[in-house]
Chain A
Amino acid sequence: MEDVNYLFQQCINGLQLGAVYALIALGYTMVYGVLRLINFAHGDIFMLGAFIAYYLISKFNIPIYLVFAITMVCTAAAGYIIEKVAYKPLRNAPRISLLITAVGVSLFLEYFLSLKFLFTANYIGFPRPFEVEVYDLSLFTITNIQLIIFAVTAVSLFFLYLLVYRTKYGKAMRAVSYDQEAAALMGINIDATISLTFIVGAALAGVGGILYSIAYPQINVFMGIMPGIKSFIAAVLGGIGIIHGAVLGGFVIGVSEVFVSGFLSSTFRDGVIFIILFLVLLLKPSGIFGKRIEKV
Chain B
Amino acid sequence: MKKALRISLIFAICIFVGTYVFAKETIKIGLITPLTGDVKTYGESAKNGFNMAIEEYAKKGKYKIQPIIADDRNDPTEGANAALKLITQDRVVAVIGPVTSKVAIPVSEIANVNRILMISGTATNPKVTTSDGKRKPYVFRACYIDPFQGTIGAGFALKQIKRKTAAVLYDVGNDYSKGLAEYFKSTFTKGGGVVVAYESYQKDDVDFSGIITKVGTKKPDIIYIPDYYNKVALIAKQVREKGLKGVMVGGDGWDSPELLKTGGNAVVGGYFTNHYSPDRKDPVAEAFIKKYKAKYGVVPDTFAALKYDATMIFLKALDEAKKPNSQEIVKLLASLKNYKGVTGNMSFDRNGDAVKSVVILKVEKGGFKYMTTINP
Contacts and interface: CB of A to CB of B under 8 A. Distances in A.
B90 interface: no
A134 interface: yes
B196 interface: no
B40 interface: yes
A123, A132, A217 pick with most chain B CB within 10 angstroms: A123
B217 interface: yes
Contact of A6 (B37, B217, B237, B243): B217
B234 A216 contact: yes
Interface in B189-231: 199-202, 204-211, 213-214, 217, 230
B206 A267 contact: no
Interface stretch (A95-103, A172-180, A236-244, A255-263): A255-263
A10 to B, nearest CB: 6
B241 A217 contact: no
Contact of B206 (A10, A121, A143, A218): A218
Interface residues of A: mostly helix, strand, loop or mixed? helix
B172 interface: yes
A261 B36 contact: no
A116, A226, A258 pick with most chain B CB within 10 angstroms: A258
A262 B210 contact: yes
Given A2-B217, A134-B241, A141-B243, A266 B234 contact: no
Contacts, number: 92
A16, A134, A218, A225 pick with most chain B CB within 10 angstroms: A218
Contact of B210 (A2, A266, A270): A266
A65 B219 CA distance: 38
Given A121-B37, A143-B241, A262 B214 contact: yes
B100 to A, nearest CB: 14
B243 A267 contact: no
Interface string A249-273: 0000000011111110111011000
Interface residues of B, number: 32
Contact of B37 (A2, A123, A257, A261): A123
A218 B262 contact: yes
B240 to A, nearest CB: 8
A266 B199 contact: yes
Interface string B29-54: 00000001110100000000000000
B290 interface: no
A6 B233 contact: no
Contact of B258 (A125, A134, A143, A145): A125
Contact of A218 (B214, B217, B233): B233
Nearest to A258: B210
B36 A121 contact: yes
B307 interface: no
A123 B237 contact: no
A61 interface: no
B38 A125 contact: no
A217 B262 contact: yes
Given A258-B209, A266-B200, A125 B262 contact: yes
B202 A17 contact: no
A217 B210 CA distance: 17
Contact of A259 (B40, B206, B210, B237): B210
Interface in B278-296: none
Contact of A13 (B201, B205, B206, B209): B209
A218 B230 CA distance: 8
Interface of A: 2, 6, 9-10, 13-14, 16-17, 114, 116, 120-123, 125, 132, 134, 141, 143, 145, 215-218, 220, 223, 225-226, 257-263, 265-267, 269-270
The 8 A-B residue pairs whose C-beta atoms are closest, nearest first, are: A125-B262, A261-B210, A13-B209, A216-B206, A262-B210, A258-B210, A121-B36, A123-B230
